[in-house]
Structures are given as C-alpha cells and as structure tokens.
Amino acid sequence: MSARTKARKRALDILFSSDVRGDDLAVTLAAEAARAAGEPAREASWLYAREIVDGIIDHGDEIDEQIVTHARDWKLERMPTIDRALLRIGTWEILHNDEVPTAVAIDEAVELAKEFSTDDSGSFVHGVLARIARSN
C-alpha cells in the first residue's frame, strides 16, 4: 500500500472522528499531530494526511458546496459519515492538489468507500466525484 493511500486512510480517520464526536476539525487534527509526533516511522503518511485535512479546513465551504451541488438531492447530513469524509478528501484532491491525477483521486475514494462504507457507497462516491471533476 502506498504512502498516499495510507495517508488518505489516516485523513479519513481524522475526518470521521471529528464528525462523529462533533469536535472542531482543527482540534481533532491538533490531537492527531501530537500523537503523530511520537510515531516517526509513520511520518510519510502523516505529512500527506495533514495536507489533506488542512486543505479541507481551508476550503471546507467550497468543498461542501461542490458536494451538495453534485450529489443530486442528497444533503450532507443524510450521507453516511464515511461517504461524507471521502467525498471531502476526493473533492479536495480534485480541486486543490495538482499532483494527484483526477482519476487517481476518484479511484482511491471509491476503493475506501467499498472497504469502509455501505454496499452502495462506491458507486455513490464515484458518481459525485466524477460530476465534480467534469464541472471543473
């Protein structure tokens, strides 16, 4: 598994934890940063995970607007927590990370949705991210 795939999983954990607990994302990220300081062997995945979460914090309103616009009658609150987090990660990568090809961002989000969410989540995440990619 690549360092970026591990980082996406780590970012997913941070977003999911923050959402479920109702904590501010910046607070959850700071707690994870403190924990990561004691895990130098996982530094490669931590750096990209932090970049993802910082990007979502910085562009959260724009990212959520893109998701809601392209989710076709789905409100953010109705989406499974995992799907919402993966859509945020994928949308940030599509819109704000030129180093990651759009197809890779979509594929990684879909694979994580298949692994961690509902049976329908892979196709749902793919559909939303593909519409976001086409519109930008």
Given this model, what pLDDT does residue 1 score? 74
Is the CATH number of domain 3-135 1.25.40.10? Answer: no
First to last CA, the chain: 29
Question: Judging by beta carbons within 10 Å of its beta carbon (0-12, 13-18, 19+), is residue 1 exposed, middle or buried?
Answer: exposed
Distance CA 89, CA 114 (A): 15
Given this model, what pLDDT does residue 11 score? 97
Low-confidence stretches of the chain (pLDDT < 70) are none
Given this model, what pLDDT does residue 113 score? 98
Distance (Å) of CA 102 to CA 24, 39, 89: 28, 30, 12
Single out the residue of 7, 8, 2, 41 nearest to residue 113, CA to CA: 8
What pTM, to 2 d.p., does this model score? 0.95
Given this model, what pLDDT does residue 37 score? 82
> The tokens of 91 are what?
């949308």
Query: Any idea where the domains of the chain sit in the sequence?
Result: 3-135
Given this model, what pLDDT does residue 135 score? 96
Given this model, what pLDDT does residue 68 score? 97
Given this model, what pLDDT does residue 43 score? 74
